[in-house]
Amino acid sequence: MSKLMNKFELMTSKFSITDKYRIWFATPIVIILITIIAFSIYAAVGGGFSKGINLGIDFTGGSTITITLGDSIASDEDFVRYSSAFKSLIEDMGIEVSEPQKTGVGSDAAIYLRYRNEDADLQNTNNQIVEAILISYPELEIVEETDISVESIGSRTARTLVSQALIAIIVTWAVVLLYIIIRFELWSGIAAVIGLLHDVLIMICLTIIFHVQINTTFVAAVITIVAYSINNTIIVFDRVREHVKLSPPNNKTNIISNMVDMSVKETLARSIATTITTMITIALLAIIGVSSIQEFALPIIFGLIAGTFSSLFIAPTIYSLIRTSLIKKKFASDYQPAVKGAPVIEKKKNTSLKAKKANKSIKYKK
């Protein structure tokens, strides 16, 4: 493994991160364009603008129904047979249903279904679904009072969840910005927050492209990725700060870009290795987990990719561009020519002994 890392570091030793900023900035733009195309296709096929994003009932409003069948769904074949039948029964009523899930074991084994129910009379629709299940499958001997549980989320509650999710994300960004400013400087904080905005945007884009359902677990995934990404970004900025401290003080415009390149290269192998090992674990959860776990694991994978990319290429490059621009402006203001087109001459104070005596004689004459 160490030999592989050494080869990787050797390959990237002559590669400039900051010089390739056009590539780093163009990559998310391409993903956004692909997202717009995918969104348009989903909306056209679904027959409505709202179908472009696969929002779950946590954000649109709807109901969940849990049907306890015990030993009747002990085998996987029985679960698939009855869950598919219940799903088809509800869909025949013109209601969109998510993928069924199995909860509990033994006598507590149950089928869990989520479906969108945007009607004003939620209770009446839920009663119709329960009645249809009882009439269609009398052989299961389902007792409504003990074997069926229905919960609903109204549109007002859904809107509240959306606003709370946005507030949670904004507060997270604000705390991160404040922490970076205190530990490093303002421009580091701004670059870090832009990187986090990139992470969330790419997570949303990839979720739309792959049509993954968005529920409250998505908000948890976003906050998780914000913490993961900012950790990698802080490591890079910490290296930059240490390199700047050790650099000669008379360097001007080229120091920041060189220091950023050096810092990113020193952390590149570590960041990629950490991301890959984390992604393997999350990918296994996405493969073997139920749909609710997949709704959390897939955005996490998208966020890991986006967070690693931003912490290595987006945030450091933005920081380098801002600081280089500020240094150039300061450098230009210190070397202003007296006449347009004249050569730039640095203004220096005459500190010679002869000049000091001349200044003193002028004061005495006054």
- Is residue 349 assigned to a domain? no
- Is residue 50 assigned to a domain? no
- CATH number assigned to the domain comprising residue 222: 1.20.1640.10
Q: Are residues 124 and 255 in the same domain?
A: no
- CATH number assigned to the domain comprising residue 147: 3.30.70.260
Tell me whether residue 100 is exposed, middle or buried, using C-beta atoms within 10 angstroms of its C-beta: 0 to 12, 13 to 18, 19 or more.
buried
What is the three-class DSSP state of 69? coil
Q: Are residues 201 and 136 in the same domain?
A: no
* 224 CB neighbour count, 10 Å cutoff: 16
Under 8 Å between Cβ of 82 and 69 = yes
- Whether 313 has a pLDDT exceeding 50, the answer reads yes
Which amino acid type is present at position 29? I
Q: Are residues 76 and 204 in the same domain?
A: no
pLDDT at 243: 83
Cα–Cα distances in angstroms (integers) from residue 114 to residues 46, 66, 150, 293, in the given order: 19, 9, 10, 14
- Is residue 101 assigned to a domain? yes
The terminus-to-terminus CA distance of the chain in angstroms comes to 79
pTM of the model: 0.80
- Tokens 């009072």 correspond to 145
Q: Are residues 210 and 124 in the same domain?
A: no
Summarize pLDDT for 100-128 with one digit per residue, the tens.
988 888 888 999 999 887 656 778 888 99
Alpha helices in the chain (DSSP H): 2-11, 21-46, 57-60, 76-91, 122-136, 144-147, 155-183, 186-209, 216-246, 254-288, 291-309, 315-334, 353-365
Q: What does the block give as tokens for 311?
A: 């912490």
Q: Are residues 69 and 208 in the same domain?
A: no
d(CA 160, CA 60): 11
- Is residue 97 assigned to a domain? yes
- Which residue range is the domain that position 100 belongs to? 62-153
Q: Per-residue pLDDT averaged across 177-185, rounded?
A: 85
Q: Are residues 164 and 146 in the same domain?
A: no
Q: Are residues 238 and 218 in the same domain?
A: yes
Q: Which residues pair with 116 in a beta bridge?
A: 62
Q: What is the mean pLDDT of the chain?
A: 83
Q: Are residues 170 and 77 in the same domain?
A: no
- Is residue 6 assigned to a domain? yes
Summarize pLDDT for 217-275 with one digit per residue, the tens.
898 899 899 888 988 999 999 998 888 777 765 555 567 888 899 999 889 888 999 99
Under 8 Å between Cβ of 115 and 133 = no
- Is residue 89 assigned to a domain? yes
Neighbour order of strands in the sheet with 62-68: 101-103, 110-116, 62-68, 148-153
Q: Are residues 169 and 290 in the same domain?
A: yes
pLDDT at 357: 47
Under 8 Å between Cβ of 35 and 205 = yes
Residue 334 pLDDT class (50, 70, 90 cuts): low
Total domains in the fold of the chain:
2
d(CA 169, CA 133): 40
Q: Are residues 112 and 139 in the same domain?
A: yes
pLDDT at 120: 61
- Whether 191 has a pLDDT exceeding 80, the answer reads yes
Q: Are residues 170 and 298 in the same domain?
A: yes
Which amino acid type is present at position 352? S
- Is residue 210 assigned to a domain? yes
- Whether 6 has a pLDDT exceeding 90, the answer reads no
Q: What does the block give as tokens for 328?
A: 């150039």
- Is residue 352 assigned to a domain? no
